[in-house]
């Protein structure tokens, strides 16, 4: 029963993705928009949160564990431990607030360099809130230039209108799959999970025997 | 009304969480008492007198006399001299009958060969005796004259890694008194075998005397001497710092000159696994002593969060020193707060007597709208030019608690816990702690003040308020001065609920977010229960990294050796990043010996290079890239096959960390995820999605 259900709802690869950036740039909204097509206001994240999404790209079934982090400075120590082992990192800024763009170079790229344990992780720069074009203060050209400087992919999107949201995550997943070491990590994680599932029934049996 | 209900529920949950945490701590204390009882017999054993010294001296004298014997051996030995020596050996009662027969056979055929064979046997005997010598501060200090640690030290660690993988714990190594050391077996000398048999009867006695042995005590003292230069080697500082530190981190080792590297060098000089294990237990005992006395570990930064690119042992050492720093800081902060409160009390008395209204400068007050003065507790420094919205008083940044110190194993455990339970407890605990500290330092504050300090993007000043700043009107409604962000105003926002739950408590008086005593007890217990292959593997990699870090500036500019050196370096980086260290230690020792030869015997190394080049020309393929490629492919296959063992390792790590898991569990009930409201369709969709994937 469990084995058959496991096979039917299985996936080929499992990747860990991390969302970072200043507070209120829309990281949580971006994630919720991707997961559930919702566009409502999200209360500020406290510490970390995560969501899991199944995705099919490039003919592969993927399980994405996407970690959302609080951008406030006081939470930085807590969130820094979630960089470990991430195959993809999304650095988000708000195109209507220049300081959030500046802090990508001053703060967040340094955090990635300091805490990421995956040398080959794929990074993506995302400019959010493009639906507020009248308030835009960071041009697309500036975003592209910084992405090139930091070695990142680049997208502009809107969590509110869902413009480019799915493309962001799909493109990130595709790029992760192109890196051999990350592809292997994603495959290893799946095998490890299968082993854990197999061990659980045995544990329950043991419990039953004990009682 | 609904709000009050939630508040009461939050209080109940908070109290139950506190009760659970208290229960955890009580269990922890009872465990500690049991541990103290167990440790008392060891203490008694350690006080026994030393009987090993005479034996050691005897060994030394024998060694010296035989050295003299070699020096005084006359040249051009004739046949008659051979027979006379043989007779002398028989008279001495030596039991080397086998060797004597060999010598006799050789002398029949070739007298010159006989001479060489005799010297070879003597050399082997001396090596066997030397291997019995116990490492001391003097011998290790002398060894530091070599540019890099001797390859024999690294080889001993490699032997320990391989043997350790078969043992279950360090205690198994200590208990294995009946089994001879693999090092001795590898030497293959009958003399050593006989000596081992003789020593077996004495080993039980030696075990109890090991801890109090004078040389061991001196080694421990030198290792932990904060001002000593024990085991310090010259490291060329011409290279850029990044290049110097990058290799140890690439191979997940430890920084050069750190405590881990020195420990590796000491342990590698012991010749039996048993003594290596005993010395490690002695080190753990010393760590406990330093922690109880709040003394820093030398060779480890005093206040840095764990470096995840270094080995786990080094991360744990960093946590130990960081916890000592935090304890010291908390003591100072608590004393400062207490003295300020005492002074405030005395100020009140004085003002009552003299009707004087001027408080002393170190005591900070805030005036409420009612005109009442309230003491600021735990205030650190003014927060720019911010003022409280309702009272107009300056805003002070409070002293806040620091977050948890997580090593890579705890990070993995925490992440798995959050994934399994959906708990946001860690973030909420910190936010609540910061709110309480802010309230204590800023009497009369409201949530909007906290948000302006903590999360500036969630507050918008009104331009009208700015224009009218000259005209102060306390009766002006709050909304005209600014407002919280849309998302912060949202109904059911956890920030507001936490704010209303929080009490004004300065950080040093709060329940700790990260309990140093609990964390250190977990680390020291992990040290005692560490798997031998884990310990020796980390020490092996750390010492390997030190050797290469020292050799790099010496060889990188040498035109003859730089290419070979960088091939060796690339090899060890790839090998160490692979998880199967046990299968690579022998190859890594050979690579290390190659580097050692380049430094100590350049001419012979050059010959090796030329031979390698010749063989390369014959095969038509470059050798090093082929080796690297075979390593990569071999490593991948083995990695895939042995994923089971990796999971088992993870399970072992988890079992060792049960105290932390239960600690986290105590908080999950308070800060579990809030259930989505039924009124909104998308939250229910979200919950169904989560539920579905969780089953997978």
pLDDT beyond 50 at B1: no
On whether any CB of chain A is under 8 Å from the CB of B431, the answer is yes
Interface residue B639 vs chain A (CB under 8 A): yes
B73-87, B215-229, B569-583: least confidently modelled range: B73-87
From CA B436, how far away is CA B431, in angstroms rounded? Answer: 9
Q: Which residues contact B547 (CB under 8 A, 6 or more apart)?
A: B148, B149, B154, B592, B595, B596
Number of Cβ within a 10 Å radius of residue B652: 14
Among the partner residues B431, B492, B694, nearest to A46 by beta-carbon distance: B431
pLDDT at B470 over 70: no
Output A158 or B632, whichever has higher pLDDT.
A158
Q: Which among B488, B644, B685 has CB closest to A44?
A: B488
Instruction: Name the percent of chain B lying above pLDDT 90.
Output: 36
Interface residue B693 vs chain A (CB under 8 A): yes
Q: Do A46 and B495 touch (CB under 8 A)?
A: yes
Higher per-residue confidence, B88 vs A29:
A29
| Residue of chain A whose Cα is closest to the Cα of B637 | A184
Inter-chain residue contact A47 with B646, CB threshold 8 Å: no
Share above pLDDT 70 across residues of chain B, in percent, rounded to a whole number: 58
Lowest mean pLDDT among A154-158, B44-48, B512-516, B568-572: B44-48
Residue B115 pLDDT more than 70? no
Mind telling me how many Å the CA of B681 is from chain A's nearest CA?
10
Those of residues 23-52 in A touching chain B at CB distance below 8 A are 23-24, 32, 35-38, 40-52
Tell me the three state secondary structure of residue B460.
strand
| Interface contact A54-B693, CB threshold 8 A | yes
Put simply, whether A209 touches B (Cβ < 8 Å) is no
Query: Hey, how many other C-beta atoms are within 10 angstroms of the C-beta on B240?
Result: 9
Between residues 47 and 106 of chain A, which touch chain B (CB distance below 8 Å)?
A: 47-54, 63, 65, 70, 72, 74-75, 77-78, 80-82, 84, 97
In this model, does residue B248 exceed pLDDT 70?
Answer: yes
| Rounded distance between C-alpha atoms, residue B246 and residue B255, angstroms | 9
Taking contacts as CB-CB distances below 8 angstroms, the residues of chain A near B415 are 81-82, 84
Per the CB < 8 Å rule, is B639 touching A188? yes
Residue A183 sits at φ, ψ, to 5 deg, of -60, -40
Tokens representing B46? 């350690």
Interchain pair A81, B414: CB under 8 A: yes
Pair B337, B508: CB distance under 8 Å: yes
Q: Which of A73-87, B282-296, B358-372, B468-482 has the lowest mean pLDDT?
A: B468-482
A196 touches chain B (CB under 8 A): yes
Per-residue pLDDT at A201 = 56
The total of other beta-carbon atoms located within 10 Å of residue B610's CB is 10
**By C-alpha distance, which of A60, A34, A66 is closest to A168?**
A34
Nearest CA in chain A to B514: A78
**Choosing among B487, B638, B652, which should be mutated to test the A contact, i.e. which has the most A CBs within 10 A?**
B487
Proportion of chain A in helix, strand, coil states, percent, rounded to 5: 50, 25, 25
Residues in chain B with CB shorter than 8 Å from the CB of A117 are 308-309, 408
Angle A86-B256-B587 from CA coordinates, rounded to 5°: 75
Hey, which residues does A94 pair with through a beta bridge?
A: A128
pLDDT of amino acid A37? 78
Per-residue pLDDT, averaged over A53-68, amounts to 94
Residues 658-687 of chain B whose Cβ lies under 8 A from any Cβ of chain A: 682, 685-686
Q: B253 vs B610, which has greater pLDDT? A: B253
* Stretch B13-23: mean pLDDT: 43
Across the interface, do A77 and B402 touch by the CB < 8 Å criterion?
A: yes
> Looking at residue B475, what is its pLDDT?
47
- DSSP for B19-63 reads HHHHHHHHHHHHHHHHHHHHHHHHHHHHTSPP-HHHHHHHHHHHH
Helix (H) or strand (E) holding B456: none
Q: Is the pLDDT of residue B454 over 90?
A: yes
Contact of B276 with B265, CB cutoff 8 Å? no
Q: How confident is the model at residue B87 (pLDDT cuts 50, 70, 90)?
A: low
- Residue A184 with chain B: CB contacts under 8 Å: 636
pLDDT at B202: 53
- Distance from the Cα of B489 to chain A's closest Cα (Å) equals 8
Cβ contact (<8 Å) for A46 and B434?
no
How many Å from the N-terminal Cα to the C-terminal Cα in chain A?
24
Suggest the residue from A43, A70, A191 to mutate for an interface test with chain B (most B CBs closer than 10 A). A43
d(CA B211, CA B43): 10
Q: Which of residues 6-25 of A touch B (CB under 8 A)?
A: 6, 9-11, 22-24
How many Å is the maximal CA-CA distance in chain A?
A: 68
| Cβ neighbours, 10 Å, residue B105 | 11
Full 3-state SS string of A54-97: EEEECCEEEEEEEEEECCCHHHHHHHHHHHCCCCEEEEEEECCC
How many other C-beta atoms lie within 10 A of the C-beta of residue B225?
11
Query: What confidence tier does A26 reach under pLDDT thresholds 50, 70, 90?
Result: very high
Report which DSSP code applies to B621: S
pLDDT for B579 equals 74
Of B13 and B509, which is predicted with more confidence?
Answer: B509
Pick the CATH number of A13-180 from 3.30.70.270, 3.40.50.300, 3.40.50.1820, 3.40.190.10: 3.40.50.300
Asked if A31 and A66 touch (Cβ cutoff 8 Å), the reply is yes
With bands split at pLDDT 50, 70 and 90, how would you rate the model's confidence at B501? very high
d(CA B160, CA B544): 15
B476 contact A CB<8A = no
DSSP state letter for B157:
H
> Mean pLDDT in chain B?
71
DSSP readout, B356-383?
A: -----TTS-EEE-TTS-EEE--SEEEEE
Domain boundaries defined on chain A:
13-180
Burial of B177 (0-12, 13-18, 19+ CB in 10 A): middle
Rounded distance between C-alpha atoms, residue A50 and residue A66, angstroms: 5
Neighbours of B522 (CB within 10 A): 22
Of A41, A74, A195, the CB nearest to B644: A195
């Amino acid at each position: 029963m469990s084995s058959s259900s496991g096979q039917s709802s299985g996936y080929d690869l499992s990747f860990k993705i991390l969302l970072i950036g200043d507070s209120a740039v829309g990281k949580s909204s971006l994630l919720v928009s991707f997961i559930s097509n919702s566009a409502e206001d999200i209360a500020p994240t406290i510490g970390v949160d995560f969501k899991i999404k199944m995705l099919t790209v490039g003919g592969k079934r993927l399980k994405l564990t996407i970690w959302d982090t609080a951008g406030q400075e006081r939470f930085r120590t807590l969130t820094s431990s979630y960089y470990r082992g991430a195959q993809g990192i999304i650095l988000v800024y708000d195109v209507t607030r220049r300081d959030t763009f500046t802090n990508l170079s001053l703060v967040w790229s340094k955090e990635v360099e300091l805490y990421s344990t995956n040398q080959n992780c794929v990074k993506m720069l995302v400019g959010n809130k493009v639906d507020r074009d009248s308030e835009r203060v960071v041009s697309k050209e500036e975003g592209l230039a910084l992405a090139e400087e930091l070695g990142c992919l680049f997208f502009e999107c809107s969590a509110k209108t869902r413009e480019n949201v799915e493309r962001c995550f799909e493109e990130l997943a595709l790029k992760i799959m192109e890196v051999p070491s990350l592809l292997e990590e994603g495959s290893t994680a799946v095998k490890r999970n299968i082993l854990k599932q197999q061990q659980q029934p045995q544990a329950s049996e043991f419990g039953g025997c004990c009682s | 009304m609904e709000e009050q209900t939630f508040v009461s529920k939050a209080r109940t949950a908070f109290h139950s969480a506190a009760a659970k945490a208290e229960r955890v701590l009580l269990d922890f204390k009872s465990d500690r008492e049991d541990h103290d009882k167990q440790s008392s017999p060891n203490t008694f054993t350690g006080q026994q007198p030393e009987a090993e010294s005479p034996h050691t001296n005897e060994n030394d004298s024998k060694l010296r006399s035989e050295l003299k014997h070699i020096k005084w051996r006359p040249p051009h030995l004739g046949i008659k001299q051979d027979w006379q020596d043989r007779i002398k050996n028989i008279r001495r009662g030596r039991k080397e009958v086998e060797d004597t027969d060999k010598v006799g056979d050789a002398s029949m055929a070739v007298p010159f060969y006989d001479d060489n064979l005799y010297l070879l046997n003597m050399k082997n005997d001396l090596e066997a005796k030397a291997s019995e010598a116990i490492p001391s501060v003097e011998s290790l200090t002398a060894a530091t004259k070599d540019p890099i640690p001797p390859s024999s030290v690294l080889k001993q660690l490699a032997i320990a890694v391989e043997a350790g993988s078969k043992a279950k714990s360090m205690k198994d190594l200590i208990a294995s008194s009946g089994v001879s050391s693999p090092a001795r077996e590898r030497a293959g000398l009958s003399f050593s075998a006989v000596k081992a048999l003789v020593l077996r009867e004495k080993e039980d006695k030696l075990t109890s005397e090991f801890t109090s042995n004078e040389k061991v005590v001196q080694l421990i003292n030198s290792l932990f001497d904060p001002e000593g230069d024990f085991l310090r080697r010259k490291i060329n500082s011409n290279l850029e710092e990044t290049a110097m530190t990058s290799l140890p981190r690439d191979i997940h080792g430890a920084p050069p000159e750190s405590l881990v590297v020195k420990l590796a060098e000491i342990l590698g000089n012991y010749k039996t696994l048993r003594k290596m294990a005993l010395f490690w237990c002695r080190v753990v005992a010393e760590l406990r002593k330093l922690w109880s006395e709040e003394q820093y570990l030398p060779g480890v930064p005093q206040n840095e969060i764990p470096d995840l690119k270094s080995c786990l042992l080094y991360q744990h050492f960093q946590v130990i020193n960081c916890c000592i720093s935090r304890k010291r800081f908390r003591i100072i902060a608590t004393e400062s707060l207490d003295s300020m409160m005492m002074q405030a009390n005395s100020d009140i008395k004085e003002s009552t007597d003299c009707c004087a209204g001027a408080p002393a400068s170190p005591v900070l007050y805030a005036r409420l709208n009612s005109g009442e003065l309230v003491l600021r507790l735990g205030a650190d420094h003014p927060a720019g030019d911010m003022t409280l919205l309702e009272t107009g008083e300056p805003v002070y940044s409070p002293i806040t608690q620091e977050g948890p110190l997580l090593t890579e194993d705890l990070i993995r455990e925490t992440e798995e816990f959050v994934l399994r339970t959906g708990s946001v407890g860690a973030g909420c605990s910190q936010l609540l702690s910061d709110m309480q500290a802010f309230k204590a330092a800023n009497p009369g504050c409201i949530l909007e003040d906290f948000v302006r300090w903590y999360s500036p993007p969630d507050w918008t000043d009104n331009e009208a308020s700015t224009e009218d700043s000259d005209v102060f009107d306390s009766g002006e409604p709050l909304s005209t001065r600014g407002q919280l962000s849309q998302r912060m105003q949202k109904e059911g926002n956890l920030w507001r609920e936490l704010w209303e739950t929080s009490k004004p408590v300065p950080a040093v008086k709060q329940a700790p977010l990260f309990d140093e005593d609990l964390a250190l007890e977990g680390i020291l217990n992990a040290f005692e229960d560490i798997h031998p292959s884990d310990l020796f593997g980390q020490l092996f990699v750390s010492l390997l990294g030190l050797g290469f870090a020292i050799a790099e500036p010496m060889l990188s500019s040498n035109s003859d050796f730089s290419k070979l050196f960088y091939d060796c370096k690339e090899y060890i980086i790839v090998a160490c990043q692979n998880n199967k260290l046990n299968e690579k230690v022998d190859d890594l020792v050979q690579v290390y010996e190659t580097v050692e030869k380049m430094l100590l015997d350049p001419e012979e190394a050059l010959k090796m290079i030329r031979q390698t080049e010749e063989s390369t020309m014959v095969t038509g393929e470059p050798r090093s890239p082929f080796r690297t490629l075979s390593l990569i492919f071999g490593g991948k296959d083995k990695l895939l096959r042995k994923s089971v063992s990796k999971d088992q390792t993870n399970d072992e790590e988890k079992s060792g960390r049960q105290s932390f898991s239960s600690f986290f569990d105590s908080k999950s009930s308070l800060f579990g995820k809030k259930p989505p409201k039924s009124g909104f369709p998308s939250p229910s969709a979200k919950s169904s999605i989560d539920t579905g994937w969780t089953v997978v």
